[in-house]
């Protein structure tokens, strides 16, 4: 994930500036502030601003002044209570802003989470960099036979080589054609003075979806955790999961008590339907229950058995 000299200089300048504040700050997150955290082959995530901390969640829940209770154990207990009972509004009091560089096809998945503020690099105004995502070999897989939106067996040998060649050739060729249509030199003047270039807003439509884009993404703590519960899950597509895991790392730094509660009750826990809960109670009482007598659909039954460690879930 190479940075240009200008980008590296800007990061150093920002980190060198010190600003006094009466607002709550988090030293562990301050250490990461502005630094690009690498993702995939050319992508990154940067924390560029934040508001609030674990204390802000506690303060909002109690509607109190200042930092609230001084006892971490009490704060931890309250945050766990809020998480366990899905009292979400106190978590909405905290916000964080990221600068993210990501492949366009990942951005199109990401943007489905409509509870954030987003400002994306404009290819109508600027020229996109010639950087595109090529998967590592271990992430090149065939279509799953049982999951229409998932991957199956990893491609090997000549199959993998051919796919990588096609991805590289298509992205390179299309970017070359994009540059040719723009007809813009590094100085902003026509590369070929004898012809006019195509408008940027039209030339961009020829680009491949593995090209990188960038955006600023600002979101509150509750909706960030909702994003992570879906995108850091093992069933999420690898490429967006790679970004979610980095965001999860920043969550641990920013609000450690909330992050612990989130891992315990959201990522590490399960929600049962009323019928599934009845099945569990019947099993605890010693009754033998099968799918036919459970009242659950076959897929629901398999998922419940997988959660209980009885049978594997269907893929």
202: left (phi over 0), alpha (psi -120 to 50) or beta: alpha
Please write down the long-range contacts of 69-73, taking CB distance under 8 Å and 24 or more positions apart. 72/257
Three-state SS at 48 = strand
Query: Which one is catalytic: 46, 204, 231, 241?
Result: 231
Number of neighbouring beta carbons within 10 Å of residue 174: 15
Residue 79 · residue 225 · CB < 8 Å: no
**Which candidate, 48, 44, 31, places its Cα nearest to that of 3?**
44
219: left (phi over 0), alpha (psi -120 to 50) or beta: beta
Residue 180 · residue 187 · CB < 8 Å: no
310 is catalytic: no
- Residue 27 sits at φ, ψ, to 5 deg, of -55, -40
Three-state SS at 4 = coil
Q: Which helix (H) or strand (E) holds 72?
A: helix 72-84
Query: Per the structure block, which two tokens stand in for 17?
Result: 């500036």
User: What does the alpha-carbon distance between residue 33 and residue 21 come to, in Å, rounded to a whole number?
Assistant: 16
Strands across the sheet with 37-39, in order?
A: 37-39, 43-51, 95-103, 212-220, 117-120
Q: Which helix (H) or strand (E) holds 117?
A: strand 117-120
Name the H helices within 183-255: 200-203, 221-231, 238-254
Given the DSSP bridges, would you call strands 151-154 and 141-143 parallel, antiparallel or unpaired?
antiparallel
Query: Per the structure block, which two tokens stand in for 40?
Result: 């995939």
Annotated active-site positions, please? Answer: 231
């Amino acid at each position: 994930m190479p940075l240009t000299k200008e980008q590296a200089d800007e990061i150093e300048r920002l980190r060198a500036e010190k600003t006094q504040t009466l607002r709550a700050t988090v030293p562990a997150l301050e250490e990461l502030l502005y630094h690009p955290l690498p993702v995939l082959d050319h992508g990154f995530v940067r924390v560029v601003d934040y508001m609030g901390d674990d204390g802000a969640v506690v303060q909002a829940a109690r509607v109190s002044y200042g930092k609230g209770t001084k006892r971490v154990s009490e704060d931890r207990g309250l945050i766990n209570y809020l998480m366990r009972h899905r009292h979400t509004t106190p978590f909405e009091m905290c916000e964080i802003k990221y600068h993210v560089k990501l492949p366009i096809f990942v951005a199109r998945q990401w943007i489905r989470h409509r509870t954030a503020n987003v400002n994306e690099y404009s290819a109508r105004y600027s020229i996109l960099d010639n950087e595109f995502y090529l998967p590592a070999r271990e992430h090149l897989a065939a279509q799953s036979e049982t999951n229409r939106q998932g991957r199956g067996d990893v491609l090997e040998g000549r199959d993998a080589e051919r796919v990588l060649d096609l991805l590289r050739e298509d992205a390179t060729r299309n970017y070359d054609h994009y540059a040719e249509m723009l007809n813009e030199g590094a100085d902003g003047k026509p590369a070929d003075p004898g012809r006019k270039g195509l408008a940027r807003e039209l030339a961009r439509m020829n680009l491949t979806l593995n090209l990188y884009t960038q955006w600023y993404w600002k979101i509150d703590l509750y909706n960030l955790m909702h994003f992570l519960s879906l995108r850091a899950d093992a069933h999420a597509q690898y490429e967006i999961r790679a970004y979610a895991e980095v965001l999860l790392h920043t969550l641990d730094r920013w609000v450690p008590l909330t992050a612990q509660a989130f891992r315990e009750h959201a990522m590490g826990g399960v929600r049962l339907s009323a019928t599934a809960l009845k099945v569990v109670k019947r099993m605890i009482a010693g009754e033998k229950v099968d799918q036919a007598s459970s009242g659950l659909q076959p897929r629901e039954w398999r998922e419940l058995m997988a959660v209980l460690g009885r049978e594997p879930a269907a893929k």
